[in-house]
Amino acid sequence: MAAPTPPRTDDWWRDAVIYQVYPRSFADGDGDGTGDLAGVRARLPYLAELGVDAVWFTPWYLSPLVDGGYDVADYRTIDPAFGTLAEAEKLIAEARELGIRTIVDIVPNHVSDQHPWFRAALAAGPGSPERELFHFRPGRGANGELPPNDWPSQFAGSTWTRVPDGEWYLHLFTPEQPDLNWAHPAVRQEHEDVLRFWFERGVAGVRIDSAALLVKDPALPDFVAGVDREPFVDQDEIHDIYRSWRAVADAYGGVFVGEVWLPDAERFARYLRPDELHTAFNFNFLTCPWEAGRLRRSIDDTLAEHAPVGAPATWVLCNHDVTRTVTRYGRADTAFDFATKRFGTPTDLDLGTRRARAAALLSLALPGSVYLYQGEELGLPEADVPLDRIEDPMHFRSGGTDPGRDGCRVPLPWEAEAPSYGFGAQAEPWLPQPADWARYAVDRQSGDPDSMLALYREALRLRRAEPGFGDGPMAWLPSEDGVLAFRRSHDLVCVVNLSAAPAALPPHERLLLASGPLHADGTLPRDTAVWLRG
């Protein structure tokens, strides 16, 4: 195993490679079919060898798991399916010894309907102070039988649910995820305490779920989609919340990464002002199709929007909400869009894999930090989860047209020949693994220099060894149509060929890494990327 790397400086987050662990599906230590903290602890050497700087854990707190843990019942308790708080503390410390920092996930927009606050609000009834922590309202219509407004849910359907005493409560996601009222001081106080709770346990950062949704227009007005600004997205008052959070984080040297889905670059950048969030996910890049012009524009826009606020960009290809990269890049339409997800969209996995390998070298060469979703380093495709095993509420609330997000959440294959591919001792994990996944198993790929895993290990090793990568300037080089070529520091060059024709490489001293074999004449085949010194 690689020797632990010494911790980096305070600015580690400006160029880190951050690995996203979905604990339910990473590794199952106790053999009950669900991944857990014991599983993660046992696999920490794998993450150290891969060469990541930090791990972001999707929510591991007490939860009825209606929305995969994004329905939190208690922020200070680890869900018993995953382990205990003492184990989480050990995990954070053990990871740190291997040079890996921990990022936890906080979901401030809503809680679980099993959270003590919401249970108390239901019990206390209309007009009670307990209900003020949420958005309870009487309905419209003669008998209050209509929802208070027309807001659509992020997961299809209405955002309002009526309780037996006749009031309605707001939930931008499922009815089991009631939205908190961020105008209430107790809501702010509680979240700042939760931040302190985790920073005091040694976490280095916090990922903020649905970060632009917290504040609602207090009038809760109807709106016309596409004409009015959505009264529950990106309200100006939200920045005051993040300024207070920043003060909390600064006391511990902690950092934030916001889940900010906003099409408007200028409004997006406001979240990254020096006294707000350190970073935010780059969804523009994640959703971008595999086309040279579009990618180049996405990269330019990203750098241009981050520059004025001095924040580093992040580069993200995949996460637990979207179609896995190799599947997406093998389709006719290589963009990602929640609205167009359908069952049975054809894909060419060989093509998608070639492109995903090239995209890995592209994103790891760009200035800023990189997020890597578990299984991306194995080149896992999106799995077809049988209909009767789907758990994701996004599928059910779409009326069954959207396959949901389970296909990217299937438990990881570790050992080709073991039951559940070594995920855990139990043959059947919580989501079924496809029958042909032995070839993706970590042990198979570890011995294969041409595997996706070998490519990621080498790319991360080089990226760490070369100070020219990570944060810092980049400059485009002249290139043929459909080719992306840019220089980092004085002697590092990345070239990606997205055109149909072979591309000539610029003069160089040495080939550092290639995502696939070059042609015999030294030209770069389509859907292939290289890192050059020269």
The interface mask with ligand GLC, positions 241-260, x = CB under 6 A, is ------------------x-
Site for ligand GLC contains 209 (CB under 6 A): yes
Contact 31, 75 (CB under 8 A): no
24 vs 41, beta carbon nearer ligand GLC: 24
Of 28, 321, 376, 406, which lies in the binding site for ligand GLC, with binding defined by CB under 6 A? 321
- The type of residue at 89 is E
Of 210, 302, 314, 353, which lies in the binding site for ligand GLC, with binding defined by CB under 6 A? 210
Is the sign of the CA dihedral 408, 409, 412, 417 positive or negative?
negative
Contact 391, 6 (CB under 8 A): no
Site for ligand GLC contains 67 (CB under 6 A): yes
Among the listed residues 53, 67, 167, 209, the single catalytic one is 209
Shortest reach from residue 146's CB to ligand GLC, in Å:
25
Catalytic residue list contains 377: no
- Nearby residues of 414 by Cβ (< 8 Å), 6 or more positions away: 27, 43, 421, 422, 423, 441, 442, 443
Catalytic residue list contains 391: no
53 vs 391, beta carbon nearer ligand GLC: 391
Site for ligand GLC contains 234 (CB under 6 A): no
What radius of gyration, in Å, describes the C-alpha atoms of the chain? Answer: 23
53 vs 321, beta carbon nearer ligand GLC: 321
Site for ligand GLC contains 107 (CB under 6 A): yes
107 vs 180, beta carbon nearer ligand GLC: 107
Site for ligand GLC contains 390 (CB under 6 A): no
Among the listed residues 259, 377, 382, 402, the single catalytic one is 259
Q: Residue 452 forms beta bridges with which residues?
A: none
106 vs 358, beta carbon nearer ligand GLC: 106
Q: Which residue has the tokens 């909400």?
A: 321
Q: Cα(28)–Cα(24) distance, rounded to whole angstroms?
A: 8
Contact 456, 377 (CB under 8 A): yes
Contact 355, 291 (CB under 8 A): no
Site for ligand GLC contains 75 (CB under 6 A): no
Q: Cα(330)–Cα(353) distance, rounded to whole angstroms?
A: 7
Of 70, 136, 198, 371, which lies in the binding site for ligand GLC, with binding defined by CB under 6 A? 70
Site for ligand GLC contains 106 (CB under 6 A): no
Is the sign of the CA dihedral 134, 140, 142, 145 positive or negative?
negative
Under the rule (CB under 6 A), what is the footprint of ligand GLC? 67, 70, 107, 173, 209-210, 259, 320-321
Catalytic residues: 209, 259
